[in-house]
Structure 1
């Protein structure tokens, strides 16, 4: 399946297969991370949080249960349609591209689970960071939770097969032109499917470059969801806390 350049994510994320492949992502781990994060940031009850690239809204729903007023936005219309079933007076979802400011300001803006770096055009990555700054209230916080690309590349599994719901997903990975690519091929009901995930290999140094351009101050870096210090060789995540 040939995907339009620069927009692979708008096709793949809208398919049911994306959610089948990743259905075992740990909700318990995600909730522990959210609890640790809001405690660290000392966010007051009722604070406004923007969950940027929220997917089907699992982080948004949990943050709302913790007592926060949450807005979740995502480019995937199908994901937002699913998330809207959870809406209430303090939880709202909408379709939106992160490279444009939302036009509202929040006490905290969270961009979680490696939801940045999808664009081919470097300018759109910079615009996404600048948009996050525009969405943070005076004295508020921004958080980006990204993969630790140095460890990911060092430990890249070239190929594997994952079987989920009787579908064999044939996955191959490679690094090319500064991107980490994952080719996903499978057959379902007699039809062949092929997608490629493409994420910019953004290092801490690259984020610092983006932050400098946007006038953002990096305050803390963490290396996992328990908020332990970041180590470029051993940490699973690169979690950036800024304002």
Structure 2
């Protein structure tokens, strides 16, 4: 059985199976979120956006279609290689570790779809927030779109089998040591595979501690992609606007 738990996100996100399992994600909802977010931030067409942990670039590509100058950055070389086919004069993709400051400044930095809290070392959560702050232009804004862990834990589905493209993904979910785990096992072409997603159960209070340490100003908090008010128990998302 092939398994790699060291920096699980570096190995799992680079496999084709990750993209097969999540192929049905709601692109329309993601685009509406980008519409709502850019309107809320009053971003002009000449302003620059960094899509941090961009994956295969779905948000970056749509933001570019809206007219923005966008850079997508991700640790996954395979994802960046795929996304690079969509590059143009105002859209580029780069391999980058988000724990480190990006070598350019941006008017907005977006970290979307729970692309945070993966790290083996706790200090890398704070390092990433500091790196985001250092990447902002003088009047720039940053956004972290995270899950609402209280809602997720209260509604956790312990066991599930998901059939996608003829592959049966067996999924187990549980909370251990303040991390939300998702064990994923499957067989393809006679080969067994096993991966574990592991995301720290970071609450709003935890983020506020990070922000205080990083000298960051929290400007607004939303609980949905429609930018509704955050409710600790019921909101699906925890969307943080800061500078």
Query: Which residue of structure 1 aligns with residue 96 of structure 2?
Result: 96
Query: Which residue of structure 2 aligns with residue 14 of structure 1?
Result: 14
Structure 2 residue runs of 5 or longer lacking an equivalent are none
CA distance in 2 between counterparts of 1:167 and 1:198 reads 22
1:2: Cα distance to partner? 3.5
CA distance in 1 between counterparts of 2:37 and 2:17 reads 30
Query: Which residue of structure 2 aligns with residue 172 of structure 1?
Result: 172
CA distance in 2 between counterparts of 1:216 and 1:159 reads 39
Query: Which residue of structure 1 aligns with residue 140 of structure 2?
Result: 140
Query: Which residue of structure 2 aligns with residue 86 of structure 1?
Result: 86
Q: Provide the secondary structure at the position in 2 that maps to 1:39.
A: helix
Q: Provide the secondary structure at the position in 2 that maps to 1:70.
A: strand
Q: Provide the secondary structure at the position in 2 that maps to 1:67.
A: coil
Query: Which residue of structure 2 aligns with residue 67 of structure 1?
Result: 67
CA distance in 2 between counterparts of 1:24 and 1:64 reads 22
Query: Which residue of structure 1 aligns with residue 239 of structure 2?
Result: 239
CA distance in 2 between counterparts of 1:126 and 1:88 reads 33
CA contact (8 A) 2:211 2:218 kept: yes
CA distance in 1 between counterparts of 2:222 and 2:88 reads 32
1:4: Cα distance to partner? 4.5
1:3: Cα distance to partner? 1.7
- 2:240 counterpart of 1:225: no
> Alignment RMSD, CA only?
0.6
TM-score by length of 1: 0.99
Q: How many residues align?
A: 242
CA distance in 1 between counterparts of 2:227 and 2:167 reads 35
Q: Provide the secondary structure at the position in 2 that maps to 1:196.
A: strand
* Runs of 4+ more than 2 Å apart: none
Q: After superposition, what is the alpha-carbon deviation per residue over 1:175-229, rounded to whole angstroms, capped at 9, x for unaligned?
A: 0001000000000011100000000001000000100011101000000000000
Q: Provide the secondary structure at the position in 2 that maps to 1:88.
A: coil
CA distance in 2 between counterparts of 1:190 and 1:208 reads 47
Structure 1 residue runs of 5 or longer lacking an equivalent are none
Query: Which residue of structure 1 aligns with residue 163 of structure 2?
Result: 163
- 2:141 counterpart of 1:106: no
Query: Which residue of structure 2 aligns with residue 191 of structure 1?
Result: 191
